[in-house]
Amino acid sequence: MRVDVAIIGAGPAGSACAIALRRRMPSLSVALIEASHFDTPRAGETLSPAARPLLEHLGVFDTFRAAGHAEVHGTTASWGDASPHDNDYIFHARGPGWHLDRARFDAMLAEHSATLGATLLLGSAVSEANRSDDGWLIDLANGRTIAARFLADATGNAAIVRRFCGARNVVVDHLVSFGRFFDDDTNADPRTIVEAFADGWWYTAALPGKRRFVACMTDSNVARRLHLRDAECWTRLLETMPITGGIARHASGPIVARACGSQRLESAAGSDWIAAGDAASRFDPLSSQGITKALRSGVFASYAIGDQLTTGDNSGLRRYDRFIHSEFIHYLRTRKEVYRGEQRWPQNQFWSERCSVESVHSQSTIAT
């Protein structure tokens, strides 16, 4: 198969990029290559109200609404003191947010790109990509090879451009989520609940099908000290949480660890590649902005790719790179302010590092 653009990864970033490309530049052929069949649970349950204009822009808002994802009108947080505070979206001009069935949401976006003419390849993990005379040769684990003029990396945490394009990571912290699924027949409010503790924070969110996800978020070195991979230690810690511990009972699965520290690529685009979504920059899940950011960067990436391939103008790629960088710096400032809102454990490494006055400047220069 030969295409103009190969987009690897059909999460929100990859699908948004494919949809936007097909809508704006229908002369460009697009392959959207996805390792999974959207048949396993995915992280990220709350879609912020800010996603609405992006879904409208992509022409999928009506389909999204019809899918019946539960509306959510705010979050609840025990942050700064022990009592829970509600943060309502009631004053949000864009209306409510949503509690997503993530796998269904991702599948809907990917299928929409196919209706617009993108070639959607599911169950097709990319194992290798190498430059050729006129672009890229992309090998799939199932033995197929795809030739493409341009490569877009939307593989989330996998961030395959690090391997194939030599892009370097700027790492800010080593936050890890240790999460577990629970049965939940309480019909509890679908609000996401966040609860700070001495070494990090817990969060829980209701899922479709009377299930619930509960996760402890802390730094990888603290997690080792707390033995969070051990189900008994994890459960004992959960039971000490005044709010989350009272909601979550009947665990029904193993503990799933997932890296979710703040990081960005030193450069998010080159002359024949671009990275979008978490592959380009990753925000702390506390922000609840990951999916919205992924959609936005997928759309912006499509503009830069379109200009490059149709007119040879690479200024869009440079603008895109600057945008990802400045968005991340802005995010780091907000992150610091939010973490400084919690002052109960100033001596603990988890909190002191995030609240440090120097953090925005010094962290943005750490490269690994």
Ligand X SMILES: Cc1cc2nc3c(=O)[nH]c(=O)nc-3n(C[C@H](O)[C@H](O)[C@H](O)COP(=O)(O)OP(=O)(O)OC[C@H]3O[C@@H](n4cnc5c(N)ncnc54)[C@H](O)[C@@H]3O)c2cc1C
Interface with ligand X by CB under 6 A: which residues?
Answer: 8-14, 33-36, 43-46, 125-126, 154-158, 160, 177, 179, 215, 258, 260, 277-279, 285, 288-292, 294
CB count in 10 Å sphere of residue 102: 22
Q: Smallest gap, in angstroms, from Cβ of residue 339 to ligand X? A: 17
Q: Smallest gap, in angstroms, from Cβ of residue 314 to ligand X? A: 23
Q: What are the beta bridge partners of residue 23?
A: none
Q: Smallest gap, in angstroms, from Cβ of residue 109 to ligand X? A: 9
Instruction: Report the distance separating Cα 343 and Cα 237, nearest Å.
Output: 21
CB of 266 or CB of 313, closer to ligand X: 266
In sign, the C-alpha dihedral spanning 238, 243, 244, 250 is positive
Burial call 145-154: b when 16+ CB within 10 Å, e when fewer: ebebbbbbbb
282 token code pair: 């990753």
Q: Which of 20, 280, 258 is nearest to 154 (CA)?
A: 280
255 close to 179: Cβ distance less than 8 angstroms:
yes
CB of 104 or CB of 314, closer to ligand X: 104
CB of 25 or CB of 35, closer to ligand X: 35
The 3-state DSSP class for residue 73 equals: coil
CB of 209 or CB of 312, closer to ligand X: 209
CB count in 10 Å sphere of residue 36: 17
Q: Which of 39, 59, 38, 30 is nearest to 120 (CA)?
A: 30
Q: Smallest gap, in angstroms, from Cβ of residue 153 to ligand X? A: 9
101 token code pair: 């069935």
CB of 27 or CB of 40, closer to ligand X: 40
Q: Smallest gap, in angstroms, from Cβ of residue 159 to ligand X? A: 9
CB of 41 or CB of 356, closer to ligand X: 41
Q: Which of 169, 180, 235 is nearest to 212 (CA)?
A: 180
Instruction: Report the distance separating Cα 342 and Cα 360, nearest Å.
Output: 17
Q: Smallest gap, in angstroms, from Cβ of residue 179 to ligand X? A: 6
Instruction: Report the distance separating Cα 108 and Cα 23, nearest Å.
Output: 16
CB of 61 or CB of 314, closer to ligand X: 61
Q: Smallest gap, in angstroms, from Cβ of residue 346 to ligand X? A: 25
Q: Which of 110, 109, 75 is nearest to 89 (CA)?
A: 75
157 token code pair: 């945490």
CB of 203 or CB of 351, closer to ligand X: 203
Q: Smallest gap, in angstroms, from Cβ of residue 364 to ligand X? A: 19
Q: Smallest gap, in angstroms, from Cβ of residue 128 to ligand X? A: 10
75 close to 194: Cβ distance less than 8 angstroms:
yes
CB of 25 or CB of 291, closer to ligand X: 291
CB count in 10 Å sphere of residue 360: 17
